Amino acid sequence: MSETGIKTKAYAAASAGSELVPFEINRRQPAPQDVLIKIKFCGICHSDVHQAKDEWGGAIFPMVPGHEIAGIVERVGEQVTKFKPGDRVGVGCMVDSCKACESCNEGLEQYCEKGNVQTYNALALDGKTPNLGGYSEQITVLERFVVSIPDSIPLDKAAPLLCAGITTYSPLKHWKAGPGKDVAVVGLGGLGHVAVKIAHAMGAKVTVVSRSLGKIEDAVLMGATGYVATSDQASVERASNSFDLIINTVSSAADMNTYLNMLKRDGVMVLVGAPADLLPVHPFSLIPKRKSLAGSTIGGIPETQEMLDFCGQHNLAADIEVIPIQQVNEAYERLLKSDVRYRFVIDIDSLIGEKS
């Protein structure tokens, strides 16, 4: 450890599309309101692959991905009041914001009017320091953007909740999923499987919409009572006018009109997946029954803590496959083939002994 920074082992992509390799970075020493975290696990989000390949443009290299971070507090700044060494904590998709706009003052930092500061592939508020993510041994984060992980959730299974969990919890809560509501989840992947569990725990009747029947048994175990295979036209037709709320987690520009036809009057479909292509939506998929097409991103810090507490109370967590960091490139390839049920999580202790 030096006075100017904390040398930290990590994995990074040197350029767009290059493999992730061992890399040494510097973390800042904790300022008065900072928390230094020893990272134990980091989930692999599909967006990590997009960013490392610079598929969304504007990527900053070298890049250390990772925004599903679970770990243990090592040190805290002198003004920190919520955390102490040894606490179980998490960090999600953002690590700062302006902290002064209307959205930030309402605890909706994800909608910061000046733009929240992402955990990686973004510049800090100084406009020049690149943020580096959770594929690393340590991270220093402002106290406001750190959340507590309940003791009832294993750290490895908690990591994906910091993105997949809050990304689905936020719209389910906002559009009032609960008893008496019919909710469909499109796509049973990293986001979708958590959405099913949360919606079921909220008391909603849950249906999974997927391309085939291949995941029906998993869907039932997660709490779904209905299943629609879009490859079966009869199944699709039966689902017409069925749902109050659809959470669409897929990242492809599939036929939105097929899904919109499944909504009841005044129903809402919320996009949480991020297709790169324009979506074909016919006006008459919306107009006749006053349907809505909406979007949602992650939640603010208060809501993220609420989500974790909810999951802790209901014994919910992600279904994961834990890997050593040396297998991260293989995991990226498998993720693109949907060859994981349902979230890869990196065991950061596997960095021990790794040479940069």
303 in a structural domain:
no
Q: Are residues 260 and 339 in the same domain?
A: no
Residues of the chain with pLDDT under 70: 1-3, 355-356
Question: How many C-beta atoms lie closer than 10 Å to residue 31's C-beta?
Answer: 13
pLDDT score for 3: 55
Question: Is there a cis peptide before residue 342, judged by omega within 30 degrees of 0?
Answer: yes
pLDDT score for 354: 75
Count: domains in the chain: 2
307 in a structural domain:
no
pLDDT score for 251: 79
282 in a structural domain:
yes
Give one DSSP letter per residue of 269-315, joined into a string. EEE-S--SSPP---GGGTTTTT-EEEE-----HHHHHHHHHHHHHTT
Q: Are residues 180 and 106 in the same domain?
A: no
pLDDT score for 294: 96
276 in a structural domain:
yes
Distance from first CA to last CA of the chain, Å, rounded? 16
313 in a structural domain:
no
Domain harbouring 344, CATH code? 3.90.180.10
Q: Are residues 78 and 127 in the same domain?
A: yes
Q: Are residues 156 and 185 in the same domain?
A: no
Is the model's pTM score more than 0.85?
yes
Domain harbouring 251, CATH code? 3.40.50.720
Instruction: Starting at the earlier edge strand, list the strands of the sheet with 226-229.
Output: 226-229, 205-210, 182-186, 243-248, 263-271, 292-295
Q: Are residues 187 and 127 in the same domain?
A: no
Q: Are residues 153 and 191 in the same domain?
A: no
- Residue range(s) defining the domain that contains residue 75: 6-163+319-351
Q: Are residues 285 and 173 in the same domain?
A: yes
Tell me the one-letter amino acid at 127: G
Q: Are residues 13 and 130 in the same domain?
A: yes
pLDDT digits (tens, 9 = 90+) for 65-106: 999 999 999 999 999 999 999 999 999 999 999 999 999 999
Tell me the one-letter amino acid at 42: C
Q: Are residues 178 and 122 in the same domain?
A: no
Of 295, 311, 333, at which residue does a domain stop? Answer: 295
Q: Whose CA is closest to 236, among 194, 175, 186, 197?
A: 186
50 in a structural domain:
yes
Q: Are residues 142 and 15 in the same domain?
A: yes
Q: Are residues 115 and 236 in the same domain?
A: no
309 in a structural domain:
no
Q: Are residues 152 and 170 in the same domain?
A: no
301 in a structural domain:
no
Dihedral sign of CA atoms 149, 153, 158, 162 in order: negative
